[in-house]
Structure 1
Amino acid sequence: MPDYVQYTAEDFAQDDFFVRWVLLPDAETEAFWQNWLTTFAFRREEVEAARHLVLALHQLPQQRMAVGEKMMLKQRIFDEIEAREQARPPMVRAMPRVAWQWAAAALLVFGLLGGSWYLWQARQGAPAMAYLQVVKTQTADSLREVANATDDTHLVALSDGSSVLLRPHSRLAFPTRFTGPNRNVYLEGAAFFEVAKNPSRPFFVNTAHLVTKVLGTSFEVQARPAAARVVVTVKTGRVSVYPQSSAEAAAQRQTRKLEGFVLVPNQQATYRLADRKLLRTLLPQPRLQAVQPTFEYTETSLSEVFAQLEKAYGVHIVYDEAVLGNCPLTASFTDEPLFEKLGLICKAVQANYEVMDAQIVVTGPGCK
């Protein structure tokens, strides 16, 4: 593994493992880079600058640019950066030179080729709509906007009794009064929603790439402008999600039912912008959904144990009942996380578990 502590923003932007994390994050890259940033927090500025640059460059139609054009573009970027830096008045607390250069490079790339990028995205059929474009194209209502430019969470009350915890550096647009068959709000950034129940008037959270539809529940939406994915996490109730540009979008606004890609508590949806894939996963630490049960087992069959865990955490455990169902378990658990409980149970009966499409799959040879 390279010595990332010594990397500049340019080095990060050219590192395959770093680029994979930015564009196509998975469990391995997410865990590594989050741990690395926690350990080496003083390098966060360089990492952020490199991340923005990777996003900028990979969202352009680079495969259509000749090598000479790329070199000319790169030279033009750095010439412009140098000119701006020389004209910049001295600052008492300036951003480090390397980090500032690469952040400026990312912004300049967007400025120079923004029009070409949107044209290319339109030809590919991808949703090129930003937050305000979504608002303008989806509603004629008079909207109010709340922008949270602080580092604190803001509470926003909606006319239907719903409430929104608007996260830092996020903004929300919504009608002063909901009219018509649907309740539509528009989000850029992150927010936690507590939606007042009204099955006859579905509630839609619109972001630039993903729509979340609910009838009345609580959930979190993370749709940061520079992020490589949109994440929806359910706390209570059920929600359905679908891409903003999908054929399903228009149909969903005509029905009061929750259909298609439906999430329940302890599940989250991740929409990857790079390949437009919508994935369903369990939360890293599923929360108890029922009153604290007693996890005390004395020669208890695995079928009973799994049934209790399913009810307590609202999860689905898949296993071969004929092979494993009658295996006896004697154990006592308290406040261990679900996956720690499962690990100990599987160890006791010589089984294994894995999470697949928000389901827990347990396999093993069974009991003799």
Structure 2
Amino acid sequence: MPDYLQFSAEDFAQDDFFIRWVLLPDAETEAFWQNWITTFAFRRDEVEAARQLVLALHQLPQVRMAAGEKMALKQRIFNEIAAQEPASPEPVVRAMPRVTWQWVAAAVVLLGLLVGGRYGWQARQTVPAVAYLELVKAQAQAADSLREVTNTTNDTHLVALPDGSSVLLRPHSQLAFPARFTGPSRTVYLDGAAFFEVAKNPSRPFFVNTAHLVTKVLGTSFEVQAWSGAARVMVTVKTGRVSVYPQNSAEAIAQRGTPKLEGFVLVPNQQATYQLADQKLLRTLLPQPALQAEQVAFEYTETPLAKVFAQLEQAYGVHIVYDEAVLGNCPLTASFTDEPLFEKLGLICKAVQANYEVLDAQIVVTGPGCR
């Protein structure tokens, strides 16, 4: 594995493992890069610049470019990114009678740079910043006032919402919401990433609108990652239940009129990924599912596997599929402490000569059974 601490933004943008995370993310790359960014938070700026460069270069038409032309294009992109960095070290909070944001200007400048000359931007998707801007414009016209919080720092910023909900707004992210929630629902608008802890109110659902995906909850905690220009939108559930659906879809229209959570529903330790290229919505388990119960003793002495799996399901909020007639009575003697779920499963399966895989957010265990 390369020493990423020594990488510049341009080095990241040319690394195959980094490019795979940006364009075709999977459990391995997502776990690695999220952990790396958390550990080395002071490198966030370089990672974000590299991510934007990868996205920009991979949306260009497939034409042959000389090495000098590629270097010149990369340098111009970095210069434009650097020129648009805000000087203020504090999060910016303001009311919004009109919507005029510096980040929109930066996106337009970068877009203009890439469409200039013979290298035109490939128009497969609407520019996310513009889509987000239109969402907020429509809300601003309907509401008496609208607040916008822009986190221009490298630290997470706590935002208190008028209904008692709280938001941890991630670095370089934006959140827009009414000064007070009126009507049958509570709606906010996000560009970037944020962790939400929503005050429970079953009669008034809470909606997080991004350029491409809507997240609907009644009262729970979850993370949304919806960066402008990214190839995907991700929603991760910590507690409670969450439903997600594409923006402007038939389901989106239907969900606005009911307080119920229906359709594509996520539960704790599950993650939804919406790929913009093929507009597919996928459900997966987190790379490291967290315990949902406290003070669980994973001590087993000749314990039937059916009871072991039942305890793991309850402790982690997951669903384990297996043939109970074949595996359910296999005895297990083991003692676990703070091992991650998948490490526990690996050891259990090794003990009973079985295998497991994760399919559609379910854990499927297969094996010959016990003699």
Match of 1:285 among 282, 288, 298: 288
- What's the counterpart of residue 137 of structure 1? 138
Aligned to 1:94: none
Taking a change above 3 Å as real, the CA distance of residues 254 and 339 of structure 1, as seen in their structure-2 partners, is same
Match of 2:174 in 1: 171
- For 1:211 and 1:22, the matched residues in 2 are separated by 21
> 2-side partners of 1:367 and 1:75: how far apart?
61
- Assess if the C-alpha contact under 8 Å between 1:24 and 1:274 holds in 2: no
The equivalent position to 1:303 in structure 2, one of 303, 306, 310, is 306
- Alignment: residue pair count: 339
Report what 2:97 is aligned to.
none
Tell me if the contact between 2:27 and 2:287 (Cα under 8 Å) persists in the aligned partners.
no
2:129 maps to 1:156: no
Residue 91 of structure 1 aligns with which residue? none
Change (3 A) 1:302 1:148: same
Deviation per CA, 1:151-203, whole angstroms, max 9, x where unpaired?
22222221212111222221211001111111100111111111111111110
Q: Shift of the alpha carbon at 1:226?
A: 4.2
Query: Does the 8 Å CA contact 1:127/1:244 hold for their aligned counterparts?
Result: no
CA RMSD for the aligned pairs?
Answer: 3.7
**Per-residue Cα deviation, 1:240-272 (whole angstroms, up to 9, x for no partner):** 011113222111111111111101111111222
Residue 25 of structure 1 aligns with an amino acid whose one-letter code is P
* Residue of structure 2 in register with 1:188 after alignment: 191
CA spacing shift, 1:263–1:39, aligned 2, 3 Å: closer
With over 3 angstroms needed to count, the CA separation of the structure-2 counterparts of 1:38 and 1:223, relative to structure 1, is closer
Which whole-Å CA distance do the structure 2 matches of 1:2 and 1:151 have between them? 25
Residue 56 of structure 2 is aligned to residue 56 of structure 1: yes
Q: Following TM superposition, by how much is the alpha carbon of 1:207 offset from its aligned partner in structure 2, in angstroms?
A: 1.1
Q: What amino acid is aligned across from residue 253 of structure 1 in structure 2? A: R
- Of 33-42 and 202-211, deviating more is 33-42
Asked if the contact 1:22/1:55 (under 8 Å) is kept, the reply is: yes
Q: Is contact 2:304-2:329 (8 Å) kept?
A: yes
Q: CA deviation at 1:230?
A: 1.8
Q: Could you tell me how far apart the structure 2 residues matched to 1:326 and 1:251 are?
A: 46
Shift of 1:360: 0.8
Report sequence identity in percent.
80
The answer as to 2:125 corresponding to 1:121 is yes
What does 1:215-226 correspond to in 2, within 5 Å?
215-226=218-229
Seen in structure 2, the aligned counterparts of structure 1 residues 253 and 127 have a Cα distance that, compared at 3 Å, is farther
Q: Work out whether residues 305 and 330 of structure 2, in 8 Å CA contact, stay in contact via their aligned partners in 1.
A: yes
1:61-102 CA-to-partner distances (Å, cap 9, x unmatched) read x26xx76xx78xx589659949x89xx9xxxxxxxxxxxxxx
Q: Distance in 2 between matches of 1:153 and 1:294?
A: 34
One-letter code aligned to 1:155: L
1:20 aligns with 2:20: yes
Q: Which residue is equivalent to 2:362? A: 359
Preserved contact between residue 31 and residue 287 of structure 2 (Cα < 8 Å)? no
Change (3 A) 1:19 1:235: closer
Residue 325, structure 1, aligned to residue 328, structure 2:
yes
Shift of 1:234: 1.0
Preserved contact between residue 23 and residue 274 of structure 1 (Cα < 8 Å): no
Give the structure 1 partner of residue 98 of structure 2: none
Give yes or no for the alignment of 1:213 onto 2:220. no
Quick one: which amino acid aligns to residue 121 of structure 1? Q
2-structure distance, mates of 1:169, 1:265: 26
Q: Tell me the secondary structure at the aligned position of residue 233 of structure 1.
A: strand
Find the aligned partners of 1:167 and 1:229 in 2 and give their Cα distance. 17
* Alpha-carbon offset, residue 18 of structure 1: 4.9
Displacement of 1:150 after TM fit? 1.8
Of 246, 251, 261, the match for 1:248: 251
Return 146-155 or 346-355, whichever deviates more: 146-155
Secondary structure of 2:347's partner? Answer: helix
- CA 1:16–1:154: 2 relative to 1, 3 Å: closer
CA 1:203–1:7: 2 relative to 1, 3 Å = closer
User: Alpha carbons of 1:47 and 1:181: their partners in 2 closer, same or farther (altered >3 Å)?
Assistant: closer
Q: AA paired with 2:136? A: V
Choose 1 or 2 for highest CA Rg. Answer: 1
Per-residue deviation at 1:34? 6.8
Q: Is the counterpart of residue 235 in structure 1 residue 238 in structure 2?
A: yes
Shift in CA distance, 11/52, structure 1 to aligned 2, threshold 3 Å: same
Partner amino acid, structure 2, of 1:202: P
Tell me how far 1:13 sits from its aligned partner: 5.1
Letter aligned with residue 315 of structure 1: V
Look up the match of 2:91.
none
Q: Which moved more, 1:255-264 or 1:287-296?
A: 287-296
Q: Which residue of 1 aligns with 2:86?
A: none
Cα distance in 2, alignment partners of residues 215 and 231 from structure 1? 19
Q: What letter corresponds to residue 132 of structure 2 in structure 1?
A: Y
SS of match in other structure, 1:150: coil
1:82-131 C-alpha deviation (Å, 9 max, x unpaired): 9x89xx9xxxxxxxxxxxxxxxxx98651245697596535xxx977442
TM-score by length of 2: 0.77
2:348 partner SS: helix
CA distance in 2, matches of 1:3, 1:290: 37
Structure 1 equivalent of residue 99 of structure 2: none
Gaps of 5+ in 2: 84-106
